[in-house]
Structure formats: C-alpha cells, structure tokens
C-alpha cells in the first residue's frame, strides 16, 4: 500500500564541485505536499461486514500512540536546566581543539566552538513512520540521533570551511555553564596544558591588527557559507524524503531486523549510516567505511575511496579520491568501561581527525565530543522539540545548536560505542593511520582498542568486506590476533577487549 521510502530523488540534494546545491524552495514544498498526500494512512478496503472490526484495532493503536506521545512529551520535553561547571586550570579538548578557560577570549572561543556543533534531538509531530503509528522518536531514537550528530560533524568537515563557526552563535547568549578555579587543580593525566600565547592586551599593535583582520575575514567567510550550513541541516529533516532523517534511517534499519520503536545499538547505527550515505548524491564525494572485528583494513579503505584501483584500466573521468568517514564499533570492557582505556579515549578525542564517539550510558545514548579531566563532554539528544518545517523560507536553525554543554564521568560511560574519524584526502588518510596508530599503541592495556592492518579483509578470512557488509560484524580475529589466546565475547555484536 505504501511507497518505498528508500528511494530519494537525485534532484533533492546534489553536490557540484564539492558544493551542496538543492532544488528551488517551491519545488521542495511541492515534493513534500505530494508525499503527504500520497502517504496518508487510510484503512485497507474491507468488506462492510468486517469493516468495523478491522477499524477498531487501528483506532486503538492510534490512541495508544497518542498516549505514548503525550507521556514522552512530558518525560523528555520538560527539563530542569542546571549549569555545568568547568575549571580554569585544566584544558578542555573538543575534537582536536584545546581551550584553557583562563581568559574571556578563551571562554568565547570554546563557546563558539560548542554552539556551532550540529545538535539533533528527539522530535515530535512529524509524519508517521511507515509501518507504525509513531509520530515521535521520544524514548527510543536516541542512538539514531547520536548517529546523526556523528555524521553531521563529518559533513561539517567535508563541506564547510576549515574551523568554521556558526555566525549566529553570538545570538545564543544564554549559555549554561560556569567557570571556576579549584583549590587543588586536577589535570588530565598525560595531557599537557596547551600554550595559547600571550593575552590580547600584551600583543603589539601590528599583531593585534593582524588578528583583528583575520577574524573579520573568517567571519565574512563563515557568513558566506551559511546557505551550505542550512542545506546540510535539511539533510537530517524529520520528513521521509530527507536522506539522513529518522524516516530513512528507520527504513534502512529494517534490513537488520530493526523497526520504529526498537533500541538501536552503536554498531547497527554505524552500518545504517554507511548505507544512507551510499544511497545519496553525498556518496559521490564521500564514502563511509565500517570496521570489522575492531580492525581497519587499509586496502579496503583505499579501494572504497579510489574505485579505479579495482579497475584494470583507470577511467580518467572518474573521481580520483573520495573523502572517507571511518566508523569503528568497539566494546571497551565487560559490563562496565575498563579504566585502562580511558587515557586512550582521551587521546583519540584530542585528535582533529576524530569526529566523536556515539555511545553513552546503558540504554541512554549520548554523542561525546571532548573531555576535561575525568569528565566527558557531550551533546544530549534526550530533549523533545517540535518538528521544523524546512519548506518555510528562512526557517530557524536555533533548535539545531545547543547552548548547554554537559559533562559526565568516564566511569559512567557504557563500554559499547562507535568511534568516528574523517579523512579528506589520501594523504590525510595515511596521516590518520599513523597518528591514530601511535595513540592506540601508547595504551597501557595489552590489547589495543582497535587496529589498522595492511591488506584486505578477505585476506584474513572474513566472510564479507566491511564496506559491503551490513549487520553486526562477525566475531573473527585477524591473523595478528590469532594465537593470543581466547578473547571472551559478550552480548550484542562486540568483542570484549
């Protein structure tokens, strides 16, 4: 009865010379209206004698959905805001950027960086998810939302200017955090305090003028990139045509036995994101690789990013190299996080090639983007907001940017998670392999969180390539890992480390 929502019009979103373009606003409005008219949920035609019996359970389902939606709106729509405390003596690391909050300039830099991250949360009152009566993802879609934020960060690096910040971030003046100086400074073990140079007041006039001119140039550049920023956000819209919206992600998840209302693990979401990107025009310039068995096979990544490597005669018209997002599902312990991996996780979040970690607390997904001392910094999807109508001209972006940084202790982190990285060029990928490899080898734990190995997955006896495989990764060990003894395997789809 319903149309297949897997297909996304190639005209909806296209990338030309690395710049995102979209069809005219009026065309998008017409497309959404057409979909809404053709996807209205009507009862199946039934004989009049049985029509009443057939309609009754449908009405009951609708009533249950309304009651559940109302309960979730109360549970996740009302929040008590509390200010998060940061100290002045320890650096905050946010995906390769470091901030020491001992001056107003540094506090402002941190604020702009945090607010500029794409924040995707629960939404309500969106079109029904196909095959269900749900019009909200409250209470079950937090891992999908965390995955969306991870992908959005990769797209920001892929599409936006380097070190881009949202120009309108200055309008969000009510930023809920406070700075204090502890009596006994506690610094992150093994993490040096970065040098931020001399305060602005002590700089020479020439340097001050140069700095001011640079800021003006960057501000103008960031303002010019706003149309791309706005179109990027629409890719995650809560309408069925949106390629990375909840409707599409849920539909792709059916291939792994998931449906709307189910719990999605970080590994399953990684594969859903891979398939979602491959289906859209975004995949023309960006590939997503999902590691298997905590192993990144370099040759598989190279062939995924450079298709000409698998062709006998290279096609000169084909793109030489695709940028790549690498997702590594791991399990950092048994029932709880193994403390031995905390320093390694910190070092990973300190790298500029890292795009974050999706995981959280048990059955409570969060998107981790940094840390200070023994506290993780995260964006929380557990906030229910009304759906945004992207067909309206100049729709507000405010609900897609968070002004409340939150922290939680590493000790509360669920061991099941997926780590993300981004490499724009082949040289960036090779550099990433090197620097991430050094971080992993510096771990005090005998077994690294994951590994990079030469060759392809099939060389190690894997059933399928990770770039094409969908579903939980197989519990297979690489040749390097064989002979180390048995590694206990646990619940879900992860190998215990």
**For 462, phi and psi rounded to 5 degrees?**
-75, 145
In whole angstroms, give the CA distance from residue 90 to residue 440: 23
Q: Helices 266-279 and 142-159: crossing angle, nearest 10°? A: 50
In whole angstroms, give the CA distance from residue 280 to residue 231: 14
**What's the maximum distance between 2 C-alpha atoms anywhere in the chain?**
89
Decide: helix, strand or coil at residue 104: helix
- Are the CB atoms for 433 and 454 separated by under 8 Å? no
Query: Which residue is catalytic, options 138, 142, 294, 402?
Result: 142
Query: Which residue is catalytic, options 97, 247, 382, 401?
Result: 382
Indicate if 382 belongs to the active site: yes
Query: Which residue is catalytic, options 251, 380, 401, 414?
Result: 380
Indicate if 294 belongs to the active site: no
253: nearest Cα among 329, 359, 143, 149: 143
- Are the CB atoms for 315 and 309 separated by under 8 Å? no
Distances (CA, A) of 111 to 176, 215, 401, 403: 10, 16, 11, 8
In degrees, rounded to 5, the angle at the alpha carbon of residue 359 between the alpha carbons of residues 412 and 143 is: 130
Indicate if 142 belongs to the active site: yes
- Are the CB atoms for 388 and 160 separated by under 8 Å? no
What is the secondary structure of 111-129 as a DSSP string? Answer: HHHHHTS-----EESPPPP
Q: Spell out where 145-248 has E strands.
A: 177-180
Tokens for 381, please give them: 């999807």
In whole angstroms, give the CA distance from residue 266 to residue 381: 14
Q: Spell out where 336-415 has E strands.
A: 354-361, 364-372, 375-379, 385-386, 406-409
Decide: helix, strand or coil at residue 180: strand
In whole angstroms, give the CA distance from residue 253 to residue 267: 12
Strand-strand pairing, 295-297 and 451-453: parallel
Active-site residue set: 142, 380, 382
């Amino acid at each position: 009865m319903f149309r297949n929502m897997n297909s996304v019009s190639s005209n909806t979103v296209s990338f030309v010379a690395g710049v995102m373009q979209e069809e005219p606003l009026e065309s998008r409005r017409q497309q959404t209206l057409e979909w809404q008219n053709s996807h209205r949920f009507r009862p199946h035609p039934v004989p009049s004698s049985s029509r009443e019996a057939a309609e009754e359970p449908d009405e009951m389902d609708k009533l249950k959905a309304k009651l559940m939606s109302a309960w979730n709106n109360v549970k996740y729509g009302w929040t008590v805001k509390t200010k998060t405390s940061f100290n002045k003596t320890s650096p905050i690391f946010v995906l390769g950027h470091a901030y020491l909050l001992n001056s107003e300039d540094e506090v402002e830099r941190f604020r702009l960086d945090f607010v500029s991250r794409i924040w995707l949360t629960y939404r309500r009152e969106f079109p029904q998810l196909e095959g269900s009566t749900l019009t909200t993802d409250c209470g079950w879609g937090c891992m999908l939302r965390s995955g969306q934020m991870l992908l959005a960060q990769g797209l920001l690096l892929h599409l936006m200017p380097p070190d881009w910040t949202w120009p309108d971030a200055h309008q969000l003046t009510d930023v809920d955090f406070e700075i204090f100086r502890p009596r006994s400074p506690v610094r992150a073990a093994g993490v040096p305090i970065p040098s931020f140079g001399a305060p602005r007041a002590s700089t020479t006039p020439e340097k001050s003028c140069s700095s001011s001119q640079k800021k003006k140039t960057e501000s103008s550049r960031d303002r010019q990139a706003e149309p791309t920023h706005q179109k990027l956000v629409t890719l995650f819209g809560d309408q069925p045509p949106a390629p990375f919206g909840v409707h599409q992600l849920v539909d792709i998840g059916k291939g792994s036995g998931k449906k709307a209302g189910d719990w999605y693990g970080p590994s399953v979401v990684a594969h859903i994101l891979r398939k979602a990107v491959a289906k859209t025009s975004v995949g023309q310039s960006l590939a997503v690789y999902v590691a298997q068995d905590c192993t990144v096979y370099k040759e598989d990544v190279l062939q995924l990013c450079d298709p000409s490597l698998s062709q006998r005669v290279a096609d000169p018209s084909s793109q030489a190299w695709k940028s790549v997002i690498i997702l590594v599902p791991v399990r950092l312990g048994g029932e709880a996080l193994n403390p031995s991996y905390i320093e390694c996780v910190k070092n990973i979040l300190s790298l500029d090639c890292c795009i974050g970690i999706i995981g959280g607390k048990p059955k409570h997904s969060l998107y981790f983007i940094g840390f200070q001392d023994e506290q993780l910094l995260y964006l929380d999807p557990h906030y229910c907001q009304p759906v945004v109508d992207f067909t309206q001209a100049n729709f507000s972006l405010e609900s897609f940017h968070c002004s409340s940084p939150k922290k939680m202790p590493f000790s509360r982190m669920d061991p099941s998670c997926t780590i993300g990285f981004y490499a724009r060029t082949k040289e960036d990928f090779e550099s990433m392999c090197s620097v991430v490899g050094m971080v992993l080898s510096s771990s005090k734990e005998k077994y690294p969180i994951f590994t990079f190995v030469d060759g392809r997955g099939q060389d190690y006896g894997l059933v399928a390539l990770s770039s094409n495989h969908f579903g939980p990764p197989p519990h297979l060990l690489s040749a390097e890992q064989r002979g180390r003894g048995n590694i206990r395997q646990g619940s879900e789809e992860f190998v215990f480390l």
